[in-house]
Amino acid sequence: MDMGQAPQGWVPVEHRLLGLDRRTFAAGFGALAVALLLIYGLQALNAAIPWHNEIRAGQVLDLGGGATAVPPVGWQLERGTLTGGAGAAATSLQVLLASGGATIELEGTSYDGSAAAFLEQVQRSEGDSGSVSGSRGSLTTDAGLVGVVESSTGPSGDAIDVAFKMAVGTTETVNSAPALLVRVRTAAGQFERYQDEVAAMLRSITPGAAR
């Protein structure tokens, strides 16, 4: 070794602090700041941003063509349109509400036939889900819409399907109206917790003024 040269890695005493090379502090602190931002900063930012899609009292869902429903207060509107917004189409409706582990999905489509036939077609298209179906019944909304309701339960949870034709009047008028499928899903044994809110929303569904 050349006695006139400093050994590799040797740090002059004027650049040392507690045995460390002060010239590397800037880069080190910069890396530490970035790491802390990624770990804690994004979480804090996410917590600071309020959720703007929580249903408030008085808000009404737009089901297209003048049809409406009153969603449960406090649920999150993850997909869909409220009245006064951009407007919804009854035959391509997609609405999703969520609260805890429960969801309510509303899907609108064209279908010529009764609500019972529509529900049967949906079930045939989905095949055997492995769930145990309960009895089928009917449900009449406050506006006079008559729906067909069927419950089921299985390993994936509790389910309620309700099919409507979005009109009242003669058989011809009802059969030619758009169809609405309401699907409620909860964890197994949890439907009772939400049934009052679900029932109130189902009763609130109204058809459009002109069909």
User: Between vectors from CA 129 to CA 192 and to CA 147, what angle results, nearest 5°?
Assistant: 55
Local confidence band at 24 (pLDDT 50, 70, 90 cut-offs) = confident
* Residue 49 pLDDT exceeds 50: no
* Residue 2 pLDDT exceeds 80: no
Q: Structure tokens of 188?
A: 């197994």
Local confidence band at 38 (pLDDT 50, 70, 90 cut-offs) = low
Percent of the chain residues topping a pLDDT of 90: 63
* Burial of 184: CB neighbours in 10 Å, binned 0-12, 13-18, 19+: buried
In the predicted model, what is the mean pLDDT of residues 55-60? 97
**Which DSSP string corresponds to 62-109?**
EEETTEEE-PPTT-EEEE--BTTSS---GGG-EEEEEETTEEEEEEEE
Helix ranges (H only) for the chain are: 25-36, 42-48, 115-126, 171-176, 191-203
Percent of the chain residues topping a pLDDT of 70: 77
Higher pLDDT pick, 189 / 2: 189
